Amino acid sequence: MKFKGKVWKFGNDVNTDEIISGKYKYDTLNINEIVKHTFEAIDPDFAEKVSKGDIIVAGGNFGCGSSREQAPLVIKQLGISTVIADFFARIFYRNAVNTGLPIIECPLSEKVDEGDILEVNFEEGSIKNLSKNESFEFRKLSMFMLDILEAGGLVNYLREKKGFPLK
Amino acid sequence: MGKTLAEKIISVSTKKDVYSGDVVLCDVDIVMAHDGTAPLAIEEMKKMGVDKVWDPNKVVLVIDHTSPSPSDRISNIHAMIRNFAKENNIPNLYDAGSGICHQLLIENHVIPFQIVIGGDSHTCTHGALCAFGTGMGSTDVAAIFAYGKTWLRVPETFKVEVAGPLQSYVYSKDIILQTTKEIGAAGATYKAIEFLGSTITNLNMDERFTLTNMAVEMGGKSGFIPVDNVTKKFLEGKGVRNIPEIKPDKDADYEREYLLEAEYIEPMVAVPPRVDNVKPVSEVEALELDQVFIGTCTNGRLSDLKTSAKILKKKKEKVKVRTIIGPASRNILIQAIQEGLIEVFLKYGAVIIPPGCGPCIGRHLGILGDGEVCLSTQNRNFKGRMGNPNAEIYLSSPATAVASAITGYITDPRSILE
Ligand code: SF4
């Protein structure tokens, strides 16, 4: 998996209520209906500003709070190619892999600026900042997780494999 | 090598010797989903190409987050959950008014050594019974619905030891707010937290659940408390006998250790919008309030209602701000009625809402207006949590909340009671 895109920056401790408010998720299962509210509490125009392939770079503890899977889903639905955070909240991390949103743990929040263009290579575990001509490495995901991401999420993965692998 | 509680529980469940860092595929004993997470899980399971759950007796469905339904659209979503339960012959569907999912699991389902996965972040609560409880999202839940399995990474553990007697009007909520202040909102990300020490041994089960409930507020995977006589009595009350004592090994390996001396803990408040921005009540005293809420899976249990009613009876004063009381389950509400607590609340001007999450999630039953300030006994004070990003939520124990309801501003319970 390889992506190239423009950076949007977020701070530390971005929580699931800020990603998509709990008040929207009870009314519908249609993600397209709620996607326009993504990050509303932080930046009400965010959903209109992003373009397909853009990359989010955030500080630590991204996605903390509730277990709502709508959080990675709306980000994916907006066309964000990958989220890079210093580190993620645990449930968000699982949910992102399960819903097929590629995520990377790498401390870049102090090193890149909004609008920079990044190129990310998952197999190599490398990130290039094309705007600043800098390179970074990150710890690659386990094969199991890469397989799930490449299948497009756990649903597709389990449908293809008809269950969990034995080992 | 010695084991922590998390390592012990997962070892027993998987019948393997596991230690932190090991990744294991587990058989799940209970999987729970509620009206916020079940609908997506149901859809995801069907997309996996599976139409029936692996074991209907191990699935628990709860309609608690928006119940009874506040809108026609939500009613349709609730109907989908009911249909799914029917199609799959799932006996444990708890409909509107039964109570909050975690409280229902505690009352009716969870026993030590189980793997309990919930489509809700506060599933970490169940570690107070030495079950491995942790929250996951809808797709993980769907995979469990379909196959009864999930993968877990055995977490490293932080040990939080609390020693000595608590001051009067200081409760387990104050302990956990103090702990959150020390560890930070992300300080225990991916970790388990064990609560040990003489103060913890002296807490009743209601108070213990308040501690483990908030492990996720530090990023934790689960919170654990050893099984001792208090736990055994509680389990015997539910007809569960022959449970041994369960403690961590003396030579267990902890990633970090904290020691709190109970006598120095004061009534605490978490200042919005962060749960780790915790201050002694004295530092925020006199802040005017618009709403007080006593309830939730953190502090809506019988002990919490008893403490609150006792303070109202002692002061014999009506509340000065709108005060909402949400019993965590139907059982708790029945007991509160039998003990005369509900009459006290009504007499002194509070509103009683049906057992469930109520205003905690911000969809109905007490949504805040712009610029309003609420003091709540819940576990989160994020911006927008109670349905309005222009409102502020402070967090405290029920005693601090009820004392503040009586005066109309944030109040140290000791200042009006001692
Ligand atoms: S009471 Fe609040 S925190 Fe607890 S399960 Fe319900 S919404 Fe979640």
Per-residue pLDDT of chain B (418 residues; tens, 9 = 90+): 899 999 999 999 999 999 998 888 899 999 999 999 999 999 999 999 999 999 999 999 999 999 999 999 999 999 999 999 999 999 999 999 999 999 999 999 999 999 999 999 999 999 999 999 999 999 999 999 999 999 898 999 999 999 999 999 999 999 999 999 999 998 999 999 999 999 999 999 999 999 999 999 999 999 999 999 999 999 999 999 999 999 999 999 999 999 999 999 999 999 999 999 999 999 999 999 999 999 999 999 999 999 999 999 999 999 999 999 999 999 999 999 999 999 999 999 999 999 999 999 999 999 999 999 999 999 999 988 999 989 999 999 999 999 999 999 999 999 999 8
Residue A166 lies in a domain: no
Q: Around Cβ B91, how many Cβ atoms within 10 Å?
A: 10
Instruction: Give domain status of residue A127, yes or no.
Output: yes
The rounded distance, in Å, linking the Cα atoms of B237 and B311 is 28
Q: Domain B23-153 is classified in which CATH homologous superfamily?
A: Aconitase, domain 3 (3.30.499.10)
Q: Distance, CA B293 to ligand 1 centroid (Å)?
A: 13
Number of domains, chain A: 1
- Kindly report the pTM of this predicted structure: 0.91
Asked whether residue A100 carries a pLDDT value surpassing 60, the answer given is yes
A21, part of any domain: yes
Between CA B335 and CA B348 the distance in angstroms is 19
Length of chain A: 167
For ligand 1, mutation pick of B378, B386, B395 (most atoms within 8 Å of CB) = B378
| Third-level CATH fold of B268-417 | Aconitase; domain 3 (3.30.499)
Number of other CB atoms surrounding residue B292 within 10 Å: 31
Nearest to B409 by CA among B385, B373, B383: B373
Residue A167 lies in a domain: no
Write the single-letter amino acid at B240: V
CA distance A54 to A51: 6
Q: Does A95 reside within a domain? A: yes
Residues B89, B90, B95: CA angle, nearest 5 degrees: 125
Question: Residue range A34-43: average pLDDT?
Answer: 89
Domain extents for chain B? 23-153, 157-264, 268-417
Domain holding A16, by residue range, is: 2-161
**How high is the pLDDT of residue B76?**
96
**Which residues in chain B are contacts of A95 at CB distance < 8 A?**
136-137, 139-140
Check CB contact under 8 Å for B35 and A94: no
**Residue A81 contacts residue A55 (beta carbons within 8 Å):** yes
**Does A26 score more than 80 pLDDT?**
no
Query: Given an 8 Å threshold on Cβ–Cβ distance, is B385 in contact with A17?
Result: yes
**Is residue A132 predicted with pLDDT exceeding 80?**
yes
> Is A57 among the domain residues?
yes
Return the CATH number of B157-264, one of 3.40.50.300, 3.30.499.10, 3.90.580.10, 3.40.640.10.
Answer: 3.30.499.10
Query: What is the model's pLDDT at position B258?
Result: 98
Residue whose CA is at the smallest distance from ligand 1 atom 2: B360
What is the reported pLDDT for A68? 86
CATH number at residue A78: 3.20.19.10
- The answer to whether the CB atoms of B77 and A69 lie below 8 A apart is no
The answer to the question of residue A10 being in a domain is yes
The atom number, within ligand 1, closest to the CA of B379 reads 3
The b/e string for B360-388 (b: 16+ C-beta within 10 A; e otherwise) is: bbbbbbbbbeeebbbbbbbbbbbbbbbbb
Find tokens 């199609």 and name the residue: B87
- In percent, the amount of chain A with pLDDT more than 70 equals 97
Q: How far is the CA of B340 from the centre of ligand 1 (A)?
A: 26
Give residue A25's pLDDT.
67
> What span, in angstroms and rounded, lies between the C-alpha atoms of B192 and B126?
12
Q: If you measure CA to CA, which chain B residue comes closest to A91?
A: B136
Q: A91 lies in a domain?
A: yes
